[in-house]
């Protein structure tokens, strides 16, 4: 009797003629997520993937598969031949592994994908349910809310299992192009990257630092965030860009209340240049409408004007509590709240402009000549891979 993991995909099953592209991409991402586990073998069957591993690796595989976008659920299953007597024997053994009291309820749910098997699904439910009842007097059937759900899938072989583990769903990373994420050390931007990756976008991170005004610990914090994110996004590249000289030039020559906006426009321009270098088609930001001065509609319009590529803001309609809930779920929250300054929190003006007019922003921007400084910042960027 062989043990495997059944992997189900959801949204991509609805794709048309290019479905095989999505299926093959998901299979590649699964292989990458499990590459360090011994005995790995993957098989593609109709509507499912079958994962085989060394016995000691199954729990690690379940944890890893729960972070692969495109998978809707998985089950640890036993595989046998399409033989009813074998099914009865295995089902009785599996039921023996369950904690059964005098009032334990169960239900059998069968799926007969292999129409050559002589017993139809409904008949198989009844036959197997009756057999289990005969051999365990503590069991009773509840078709609405059973405590134990007993699944039988008859395909080229038969797969039997009791638990279905929910996964993240979404689309396989890589099917929706590449985006450059502006990754600060805060709560929002890792969540924004996670949400875009869930829609199939490959993520490249860009982090800006202002050493010595920001510390090495702030840099290490962002590196740790990128490492956590990569368990969802797959292999991820991070550009670490010094923004100190640009920020100082703007602080010296521009009206203080516009400096946050000018800083954001400078970051956008650098991120766009890196996007072109990486073959990316968009920028990704963790902005949420109205959260801070640089996230009013007027301010967002002024920063958008700095670049030509589309800027995706998946958190734009969410409040802070909603964002925190996701950050906790993906385990970036505890790292994000470490109290180290980043370049978005140093040099904050006392009275930032919250309703900027674009012509005034451009007028202030022209006072600081940062073109060569931007070139130097990109040229000297540190590139890390996760």
End-to-end alpha-carbon separation of the chain, Å?
Answer: 38
Residue 207 in marked binding region = yes
Give dist(CA 245, CA 367) in Å, integer. 15
How far apart CA 286 and CA 289 sit, in angstroms, is 10
**Which segments of 183-299 are extended strands (E)?**
202-209, 237-242, 282-284
- Count of CB atoms situated within 10 Å of the CB of 91: 21
- Tell me the C-alpha distance between 46 and 155, whole Å: 9
Residue 151 assigned ligand-binding role? no
What SS3 state is found at 255? coil
As a whole number of angstroms, the distance between CA 311 and CA 182 comes to: 10
How does DSSP assign 274-321, residue by residue? HHHHHT--EEE----TTSSGGGSHHHHHHHHTT-SS-EE-TTTT--HH
**Residue 182 marked ligand-binding:** yes
Ligand-binding annotation for 347, yes or no, is: no
265 annotated as ligand-binding: no
> What would the two tokens of residue 137 be?
């007097």
Residue 122, Cβ neighbours under 10 Å: how many? Answer: 10
Q: Is 130 annotated in some ligand binding site? A: no
Would the annotation count 183 as a binding residue?
yes
Per the annotation, where are the binding residues for ATP?
182-183, 207-208, 264, 286, 295
Per the annotation, where are the binding residues?
182-183, 207-208, 264, 286, 295
């Amino acid at each position: 009797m062989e043990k495997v993991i059944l992997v189900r995909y959801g949204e991509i099953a609805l794709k048309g003629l290019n479905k095989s592209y999505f299926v093959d991409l998901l299979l590649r991402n699964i292989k990458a997520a499990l590459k360090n586990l011994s005995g790995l073998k993957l098989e593609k069957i109709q509507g499912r993937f079958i994962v085989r591993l060394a016995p000691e690796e199954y729990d690690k595989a379940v944890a890893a598969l729960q972070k692969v976008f495109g998978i809707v659920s998985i089950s640890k299953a036993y595989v046998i031949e399409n033989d009813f007597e074998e099914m009865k024997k295995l089902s009785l053994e599996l039921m023996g592994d369950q904690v059964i009291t005098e009032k334990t309820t169960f239900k059998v749910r069968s799926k007969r994908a292999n129409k050559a098997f002589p017993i139809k699904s409904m008949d198989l439910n009844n036959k197997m349910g009756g057999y289990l009842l005969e051999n365990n007097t503590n069991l009773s059937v509840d078709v609405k809310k059973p405590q134990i759900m007993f699944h039988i899938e008859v395909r080229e072989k038969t797969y039997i299992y009791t638990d279905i583990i929910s996964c993240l769903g979404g689309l396989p990373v890589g099917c929706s192009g590449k985006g450059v994420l502006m990754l600060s050390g805060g709560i929002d931007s890792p969540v924004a990257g996670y949400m875009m990756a869930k829609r199939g976008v490959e993520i490249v991170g860009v982090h800006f630092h202002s050493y010595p005004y920001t510390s090495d610990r702030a840099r290490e914090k962002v590196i740790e965030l990128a490492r956590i994110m990569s368990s969802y996004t797959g292999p991820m590249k991070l550009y670490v860009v010094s923004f100190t000289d640009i920020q100082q030039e703007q602080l010296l020559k521009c009206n203080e209340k516009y400096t946050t906006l000018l800083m954001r426009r400078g970051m956008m321009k650098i991120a766009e240049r890196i996007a072109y270098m990486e073959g990316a088609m968009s920028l990704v930001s963790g902005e949420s409408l109205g959260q801070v001065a640089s996230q009013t509609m007027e301010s967002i319009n002024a920063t958008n004007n700095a670049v030509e590529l589309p800027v995706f803001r998946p958190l734009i309609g969410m409040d802070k509590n909603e964002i925190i809930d996701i950050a906790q779920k993906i385990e970036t929250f505890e790292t994000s709240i470490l109290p180290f300054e980043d370049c978005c929190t140093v040099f904050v003006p006392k009275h930032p402009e919250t309703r900027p007019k674009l012509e005034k922003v451009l007028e202030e921007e022209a006072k600081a000549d940062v073109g060569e400084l931007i070139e130097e910042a990109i040229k000297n960027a540190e590139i890390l891979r996760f």
